[in-house]
Amino acid sequence: NAGVTQTPKFQVLKTGQSMTLQCAQDMNHNSMYWYRQDPGMGLRLIYYSASEGTTDKGEVPNGYNVSRLNKREFSLRLESAAPSQTSVYFCASSEGRQGIWNQPQHFGDGTRLSIL
């Protein structure tokens, strides 16, 4: 049981380059999330997808775009990378849906992204 799989695990980019972080879950979860984790800041929500076909902005969406490709996959794209986007990115999923609000999240192991 793989759970939540993120690729790549590590990436180094130059300022201005673009890239897409991939996330897939095999738990048939409805909701998926992208977070960034920076020292002393905890987890900050970038975007989320409550269900297949929908996406919404979180706390820090600027500079990012997302695609909920299907129920399994939720990708995060940096169109023009900036040094401020150096961070560890986590994808998560949960069963949460209308009427079932209290399900915990399952996390991937993260993508460590450095932008020079």
Partner 1 sequence: AQSVTQPDIHITVSEGASLELRCNYSYGATPYLFWYVQSPGQGLQLLLKYFSGDTLVQGIKGFEAEFKRSQSSFNLRKPSVHWSDAAEYFCAVVEGGSYIPTFGRGTSLIVHP
Interface residues toward partner 1, by CB under 8 A: 4, 31, 40-43, 45, 48, 50, 58, 90, 92, 94, 96-97, 101-110
* Radius of gyration of the CA atoms of the chain, in A: 13
Shortest Cβ 80–partner 1 spacing (Å): 27
| Length of the chain, in residues | 116
Q: Does the bond joining 104 to the residue before it have cis omega, within 30 degrees of 0?
A: no
Q: Which is nearer to partner 1, 19 or 50 (CB)?
A: 50
Q: Which is nearer to partner 1, 17 or 27 (CB)?
A: 27
Shortest Cβ 53–partner 1 spacing (Å): 16
Q: Which is nearer to partner 1, 53 or 104 (CB)?
A: 104
Shortest Cβ 101–partner 1 spacing (Å): 5
| Neighbouring residues of 105: CB distance < 8 A, sequence distance ≥ 6 | 33, 92, 93, 94
Q: Which is nearer to partner 1, 17 or 71 (CB)?
A: 71
Q: Which of 75, 60, 59 is nearest to 19 (CA)?
A: 75
Whole-number Å distance between alpha carbons of 16 and 23: 23
